[in-house]
């Protein structure tokens, strides 16, 4: 086999899975914002949210991955699909899905991405030397639950109150007055 002039890095299985998940998530999120048909956008959003759950699994945050699938894919994506169905009839309209600032916004978003990616590339991140996790996934979930009822007890109560108020408010807003 002839020697190649440049050495092509062979990805480990972990890296190969990350590349696949990252490409799928990136393409899906790009389709969410570019698709003309709002319903296809919602389906791509489900794909992107699943991809983010995969990223959590790769980062060994399994509980968060399950929460992501339950809350985002199970509840939020369903809610968005229902809203699209309820406001049907104008979603496949003949008018443009984008406003008149579209190209300026596109340039700005590209600039933001290049800026952040450049900064990410240059900053010497203080990454820990030893990246192994202490304990298994089960003990981490136990720790997470313990944190919620001790250190983060007040924020947890407040978030519960916020969800209650928001959902009651949502029902009041969407209710038919007659």
Partner 1 sequence: MVPLQAYLTLAAFIFSCGLYGALARRNAIAMLMAVELMLNAVNINLVAFWRYGPNRDDLAGQTFAIFVIAVAAAEVAVGLALVIAIYRSRKTVYLDEIDLLQG
Which 119-178 positions form the footprint of partner 1 (CB under 8 A)?
120-121, 125-128, 131, 133-134, 140, 143-144, 147-148, 152, 155, 159, 162-163, 166-167, 169-174, 176
Closest residue by Cα to residue 68 from 81, 55, 82, 83? 55
In the window 75-94, what residues touch partner 1 (CB under 8 A)? 75-76, 79-80, 82-84, 86-87, 90-91
Q: Which of 20, 26, 137, 153 binds partner 1 (CB under 8 A)?
A: 26
Q: What tokens were used for 104?
A: 């300026």
Q: Which of 20, 40, 71, 153 binds partner 1 (CB under 8 A)?
A: 71
Per CB under 8 A, 110 contacts partner 1: yes
Q: What tokens were used for 36?
A: 């003309």
CB 39 within 8 A of CB 90: no
Q: What tokens were used for 150?
A: 């001790």
Nearest-approach distance from CB 144 to partner 1, in angstroms: 5
Q: 1 or 120: whose CB is closer to partner 1? A: 120
Closest residue by Cα to residue 34 from 136, 86, 105? 105
Q: Which of 55, 66, 69, 73 binds partner 1 (CB under 8 A)?
A: 55
Quote the CA–CA distance of 28 and 47 in Å, as a whole number.
Answer: 6
């Amino acid at each position: 086999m002839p020697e190649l002039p440049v050495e092509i890095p062979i990805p480990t299985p972990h890296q190969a899975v990350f590349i696949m998940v990252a490409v799928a998530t990136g393409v899906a999120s790009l389709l969410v914002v570019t698709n003309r048909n709002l319903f296809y956008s919602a389906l791509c959003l489900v794909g992107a949210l699943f991809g983010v759950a995969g990223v959590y699994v790769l980062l060994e945050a399994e509980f968060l991955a399950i929460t992501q699938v339950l809350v985002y894919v199970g509840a939020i994506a369903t809610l968005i699909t229902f809203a699209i169905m309820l406001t049907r009839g104008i979603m496949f309209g003949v008018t443009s899905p984008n406003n008149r600032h579209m190209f300026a916004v596109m340039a700005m978003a590209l600039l933001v991405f290049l800026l952040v990616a450049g900064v990410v590339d240059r900053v010497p991140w203080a990454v820990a030397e030893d990246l192994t996790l202490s304990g298994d996934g089960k003990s981490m979930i136990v720790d997470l639950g313990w944190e919620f009822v001790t250190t983060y007890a007040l924020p947890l109560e407040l978030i519960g109150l916020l969800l209650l108020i928001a959902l009651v408010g949502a029902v009041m807003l969407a209710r038919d007055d007659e």
